[in-house]
Amino acid sequence: MRAFLALTRPLNLAIIVVTMVTMRYGLLNGVLKTGGWSLQQGTLDFVLLVASTVLIAAAGNVINDYFDTRIDRINKPGAVIVGRRVKRRIAMAGHLVLSGIGLVLGAYVAWHAGALRWVAIPAFAIGALWTYSTSLKRRFVLGNGLVATLTALVPFTVGLYEIPLLQRHYTPELVALGATPVQAGSFFTILWAGIGIYTVFAFATTLVRELQKDLADMKGDEADGCRTVPIVLGERWAKVLVLFYAACIAVGVWIVYDRFLSDSTSFWLIGVGVLLPILASAVLTATATTREQHVQAGNVMKAAMVVAIAFAWLIGPILNA
């Protein structure tokens, strides 16, 4: 059981939970409180939404290791689980069970929210994770883009379920107070802007981390016939892309700070906690010569992502100051 749990990558799953909880209670609820409002969707529905997302992500991690056994035996031979500590048929069965439960929970939440069409999100995630593990991971650029898209869906999904419900509930109240429908809608545009910023940030930083992982895993990927960016373009150009994307992210984060925030707390947290690690991660990638150094660079980028997520808890208090 412990070996199977390790396959699901509990730390990454914990980050998903923290991200979704932070988007709902830190970002959305924090901004709502500035207007004296509160969340409307039931807590149970949100818990089930988080559970659905986590279970599908766990299933994806399991199936990825299932198909990556050959690569992992070269890149990290001491960490191979499937086929050694967990039988291959158990890993496959676990993937199917986790995916199935995740899809059922996702379908229930979509149905209960009156938007059954949103069941397409967990269905897409399950199919995308399978396709990534079986083929797209080995294709140039496509695998990286797919993982980045799935990561971006984590904060976006929270907004997709919460904001339309809030808009339906509070728009009549705003109109009754004298606001036009356009003016009423502008408040919810602020909520979408916050979710949108985090969605884009999640996509961009994950894209960088995927390139960093490809650089770390070049030896095993090449032996398995993968066509990742560093294998196709070369290690040097892959590093150039990491530096370029990291610079774009840093500029984007600074623009968000300059446009929407001006307090000293945001300056130090964003500057020291987010921008500095992003730039440090890029420099570490540029100077890395071993797999361990590339992994370290990716971990620094992950730390920047975690700090950026945690910052959402301060947005409400900062706006209300």
What range does the domain containing 20 cover? 2-320
Work out the average pLDDT over 64-82.
81
Between 245 and 34, the higher pLDDT residue: 245
pLDDT digits (tens, 9 = 90+) for 252-268: 999 999 888 878 888 89
For residue 321, pLDDT over 70 is answered with: no
The overall average pLDDT reported for the chain is 91
% pLDDT > 90, the chain: 64
Residue 37's pLDDT is 82
Rounded CA separation 284/287 (Å): 5
The pLDDT, as a whole number, for residue 61 is 94
Residue 177: predicted pLDDT: 66
pLDDT tens digit string along 275-298?
A: 999 999 999 999 999 999 999 999
Q: Which residues pair with 86 in a beta bridge?
A: 82
Taking the C-alpha atoms of residue 304 and residue 277, their distance in angstroms, rounded to an integer, is: 6
Alpha helices, DSSP H, located in the chain: 2-7, 10-21, 29-33, 43-67, 69-75, 88-112, 120-134, 142-176, 181-216, 218-223, 229-233, 235-260, 264-268, 276-287, 291-320
pLDDT of residue 171: 78
Residues 223-230 have a mean pLDDT of 86
For residue 84, what are its two tokens? 């050694």
Among candidate residues 271, 136, 146, the one with its CA nearest the CA of residue 207? 146
Domain count, the chain: 1
Question: For residues 70 and 137, which has the higher predicted lDDT (pLDDT)?
Answer: 137
pTM of the model: 0.93
Residue-wise pLDDT tens digits, 155-206: 999 999 999 888 888 877 777 766 666 666 777 888 999 999 999 999 999 9
